[in-house]
Amino acid sequence: MPATPLEPQPSAQSGTPARNIRKTVLPNGLLVLTEQIPHVRSVSMGAWIASGSRDESVEENGISHFVEHMVFKGTTSRSAQDIAREVDTIGGNLDAFTGKETVCFNIKVLDENLSPALDVLSDLVLHPRFTQDDLEREQGVILEEIKMDEDNPDYLVHETFTQNFWKNHALGRPILGTVKTVSSFTQQTVFDHHARRFTPRHMVFSAAGHLDHDDFLKQVESHFGKLAPTTAAPEPKSAAPVVTPHITLKKKKSLEQVQMCLGVAAPPVNSPDRFVIYLLNTILGGGMSSRLFQTIREEQGLAYSIYSEMNPFRDSGSLSVYAGVSLDKTERTLALTLQELRRLKEEPVTDAEILRAKNQMKSNIVLGLESSSSRMSNLARQQMYYGEFFTVDDIIRWVDEVTPARIQALANTLFQPEAIALTLLGNLGPMKITRADLA
C-alpha cells in the first residue's frame, strides 16, 4: 500500500510552505488521507461518509442524521457514558454533523492521545449497538429538535425557501427529516442504513496534525482493515434537481419581523466559475463592506441582519440573500436588494471592491490552514468533490484571475427576473408579491 505525496512544491512567488499530504487506499477500498503539520501539537481526524440527506428516499428522509445521533448512544463494547468519559479523560473534542451530501464523525486531541482517540472514534463508527430503547429515546430527542428549528424563524424561512426551490427533490428535503419519517424509523431501518452507507466505498478517513502517515496508517488499518469491501453495484446518485423560481408567502402572526430569503440557482461546487461566484457573493453580501450591508443596514437603517450566502452542491447550487425586517420596511428592502442585483448586471464592480473581496477570500483560505481541524476537513472535501488536491498557490492564482468582466457576465446569467425565487415569512397581512415585482 504505497502512500503517495500529492502536493507539489510552492511557487517562489508566495513562498507558501508545501503541504505534506499523503494518500493510501487500504485493500478493502477505504481511502486514508493525512497531512503532517510538524509545528502543531494537535491531531484532528474524521470518518467521512460520502452521502447525506439528498441520497435518502422520501420514506427515509432524515435517516442519515438519525444514524449520526444513534452511534453516540453506545457500541458493542462501550456505553454512551463510557464514550463521554474516555473522550473527556484525554481532553478530546468529539463531534459529528450531517449535511446534504456528507456525514462526518470527528475528534481533535493532543498528539500524545492519538491512539485512544482513534480507538473511540472507530468504535462508534463501526460498532454501534442501536438498541430499541436508545432508538425510541432518540426519536423523542430529534422530534424536539425539529420543533425547536420550526420555532426559529431564520431557520424556517431558509427551509421553506429550499423546499420550494428544489421542489420534489431530495436536495430540497430537510436534513432532520419530518415528524412522520423520524417517527417511522425502526431498528431494521437504522441497521440497514448503517450497513449500506458505512462501507469502504462510501467512506474517506482523513487526519491532519502532528502525525506520521505510515504509523497512523497502521493504526487505521488495525481498526478498519476488517471492514468488508463493498461487492454490490454502486448505488446511483440522485439526478440533478430542477430549480423552481417560486414566490412563497408564509404567514406566521407570532413573528415581530418579516423574514426574507431571495435566491437564484448558482454553479455547482466544482464549477470553473466557482471563484467568480464566491467573489460576487462577497461583494454582494458577504461582509460588513458588502453592498447589501452598506446600503440596507448602514445607509438606510432597514435591517439589523442582512447577508448573502452560497450553498454549492455536486450538481447544483444556490445564491441567496437573507434579511429580517419590520413589515413596513419589507417592500423597500426587497426593492433595494433587487436594485443591487441589477447593478451587478449593468455595471462592472470597481477595482477597489474586487481587491477587497479577493483579499478577504485569500485571507480566509490562509487563516484556515492554521487549524488542524479545517485542514482535516479540507482534505476530505477536496477528495470527495475534486479527486485531487490544490495548493494554496493554485487557489490564490485562480482568485486573482477573476476580473470584473467575468463577475458581470455571471451576474447577467444568474440574475434574470424570471429565475428569482422569494420566500417571505411573518405577519404579512394582506401583502402580495407578484413576478412583476421582481423585475
Catalytic residues: 68
Q: Which three cell numbers stand for residue 421?
A: 425565487
Q: Which three cell numbers stand for residue 197?
A: 452507507
Single out the residue of 105, 79, 76 nearest to residue 93, CA to CA.
105
Q: What single-letter amino acid sits at 205?
A: F
Please give the C-alpha separations between residue 389 and each of 8, 170, 172, 202, 375, in angstroms, as whole numbers. 10, 29, 29, 19, 12
C-alpha 246/C-alpha 161 separation (Å) is: 9
Give one DSSP letter per residue of 79-145, joined into a string. Answer: BHHHHHHHHHHTT-EEEEEE-SS-EEEEEEEEGGGHHHHHHHHHHHHH-B---HHHHHHHHHHHHHH
Please give the C-alpha separations between residue 360 and each of 76, 156, 197, 298, 368, in angstroms, as whole numbers. 47, 30, 37, 20, 12
Measured CA angle at 27 (ends 23, 29), to 5 deg:
65
CB 1 within 8 A of CB 215: no
Tell me, rounded to whole angstroms, the distance of Cα 10 from its chain centroid.
Answer: 28
Q: Is 317 helix (H, G, I), strand (E, B) or coil?
A: strand
Whose grid coordinates read 424536539? 144
Tell me, rounded to whole angstroms, the distance of Cα 226 from its chain centroid.
Answer: 30
CB within 8 Å of 48: residues ≥ 6 apart: 102, 103, 104, 203, 204, 205, 206, 380, 384
Q: Is 278 helix (H, G, I), strand (E, B) or coil?
A: helix
Element (H, E) at 378: helix 372-386
Q: Please count the residues of the chain.
A: 439
